Amino acid sequence: MKIVVLDGYTENPGDLSWEGLETLGDVTVYDRTSYAEDPVIAERIGDADVVVINKTPISRETIDSCPNLKLVAVLATGYNVVDCAYAKEKGIPVVNVPAYGTQIVGQYAVGLLLEICSHYAAHDAAVKDGRWEHNVDWCFWDYPMIELYGKTAGIIGLGRIGQSTAGILKAMGMRVLASDKFESEAGRKVAEYVDRDTLFAQSDVIFLHCPLFPDTEGIINRDNIAKMKDGVIIINNSRGQLVVEQDLADALNSGKVYAAGLDVVSTEPIQSDNPLLTAKNTIITPHISWAARAARQRIMDITTDNVKAFMNGAPVNVVNG
């Protein structure tokens, strides 16, 4: 069994091991391969049986160029970079890692909110610059301090990660609303289900934890922002395309949206003309919510199990079945 990993570096920059996959076959690992359609992708797959990817696209053309390909294993939950329908047509399962980052992504989302509310990094820098040492008062603050207790959080997408975030917020004394197509008893334990317009109208903070589907693409847009409270805070560490970035930048600059904490943008790596780079009160981090070593180890372990299950004739975590 030949296995090719096309973009392994972000999953394993050297602190993990490919040993699990190596027990299953002949493994070739490339740190990076083009994130755009490129003949090199097919060349590197060659006659491999299994291709393991993170963000490298697997298109119809690539599939046709690799007639020996039998499995596409994605080192992530999202799989929009794969032409899943065509892979299914060709009898190629596409498998993903659905639940590796539930806790860390929820933790990171709340961390973005806490940084907005208290500006830890800015005040730390101020102290180390000598401002506290030379201050006439025993304390100082450069930004408004926001208490979250008693405020209302709205979560769009109350799956595993949304529920993790909701649990943290409830522990902090917040009221939690949620909008999701599929309501569950587990969700009702941590949030109150409402329609989207109610969530927009009542939330002091809005979290995006939903997948990127046609009905969620651009959900943060001019019209929906107008339905929100003045001074709302928006947190997105799900998918950048959930946000119409110019509309959010305009709302930040006008003050309609008080602040945004973002770990994702529409085009990654971020482009220099992204309007959010210069928007007021915006924190942007480089898509790292998922990147704790413990979470990446789970990705590695589940991917190995996915390949093993396929080899045993009983594939799991198939997204195009």
Q: Is 175 labeled as catalytic in the residue annotation?
A: no
- Return the bridge partners of 152, or none: 175
Peptide bond into 269 cis (omega under 30): yes
SS3 126: helix
Q: Is 119 labeled as catalytic in the residue annotation?
A: no
Contact predicate 63/90, CB 8 Å: yes
The reported pTM is: 0.93
Mean pLDDT of 167-174: 98
Mean pLDDT of 134-163: 97
For residue 321 the two structure tokens come to 């079945």
Q: Residue 235's pLDDT is what?
A: 99
Among 89, 147, 183, 268, the one annotated catalytic: 268
Q: What are 217-271's pLDDT values in tens digits?
A: 999 999 999 999 999 999 999 999 999 999 999 999 999 999 999 999 999 999 9
Among 44, 119, 160, 287, the one annotated catalytic: 287
Confidence of residue 37 (pLDDT cuts 50, 70, 90): confident
Q: Residue 296's pLDDT is what?
A: 98
Q: Where are the domains of the chain?
A: 2-96+293-311, 102-284
Q: At what angle do helices 120-128 and 102-118 cross, to 10 degrees?
A: 60
Q: Does domain 102-284 have CATH number 3.40.605.10?
A: no
Q: Is 287 labeled as catalytic in the residue annotation?
A: yes
Among 119, 239, 296, 298, the one annotated catalytic: 239
In words, the CATH class of domain 2-96+293-311 is alpha beta
Q: Do domains 2-96+293-311 and 102-284 have the same CATH topology?
A: yes
H or E element: which one contains 193? strand 192-193
SS3 6: coil
